[in-house]
Chains A and B, each alone.
Chain A
């Protein structure tokens, strides 16, 4: 069966610090991978998606970036965090329709 891992579960970072969130998927090959951010009362915002190694599409201009160095690995990064980057970050995968979400990383930028 397919499993998706995200770490860390919780992260508290100062403004201006770098960020690296990692997501890995097991039990499937060549999935589409997604990064979402969920803010209270604002639903799920798609940040990036990837259809293959090295292929990244950005949905929202911001100070975040994403990379896909391996088929089942997806990384979300920032060089300098802003207060507005706080939120719940979710990695998801799909094969066809639908999204299967990971457990999420709660990021608090102070």
Chain B
């Protein structure tokens, strides 16, 4: 079983829709959870960072962590064409060097 599972999509939504992106994981020791956005042919950029369980909101983006279900989500409200990218989840158990990425979900927001 992979450490982190992420549906690759592709996901296509109309502009203004609410987008839900998800990852599941198997290691209950994970405490640090991140979402990255990667535009085509660019490096990933950190979008959201969450420690342990709960929600975190930043503008149109909300990250949720449910450690009991080993499930994390990223919600994008009022999606824009500029949100079209691949979104990768990432997580780790500590601040060391073991860092696990999902394979990414490709999102297209249609104007």
Contact = CB atoms under 8 A, between A and B. Distances in A.
Interface residues of A, number: 24
Nearest to A96: B95
B88 A43 contact: yes
A83 B87 CA distance: 28
B95 A43 contact: no
B105 to A, nearest CB: 11
Contacts of A32: 97
A42 B95 contact: no
Contacts of A34: 97
A78 interface: no
Contacts of A101: 36, 43-45
Contacts of B92: 97
Nearest to B31: A97
Given A98-B34, A99-B90, A43 B103 contact: yes
B43 A44 contact: no
Contacts of B43: 6, 90, 92, 101-104
Interface residues of B, number: 21
Contacts of B88: 43-44
Contact of B102 (A43, A57, A102, A103): A43
Interface in A44-79: 44, 46, 49, 51, 57
Contact of B103 (A42, A98, A104, A106): A42
B97 A98 contact: no
Given A32-B97, A97-B32, 5 more contacts: A42-B103, A43-B104, A99-B46, A101-B36, A101-B45
11 contacts: A42-B103, A43-B88, A43-B101, A46-B97, A46-B99, A88-B41, A97-B92, A97-B95, A98-B32, A99-B90, A103-B43
Interface of B: 8, 32, 34, 36, 41-46, 49, 88, 90, 92, 95, 97, 99, 101-104
Interface of A: 6, 32, 34, 41-44, 46, 49, 51, 57, 88, 90, 92, 96-104, 106
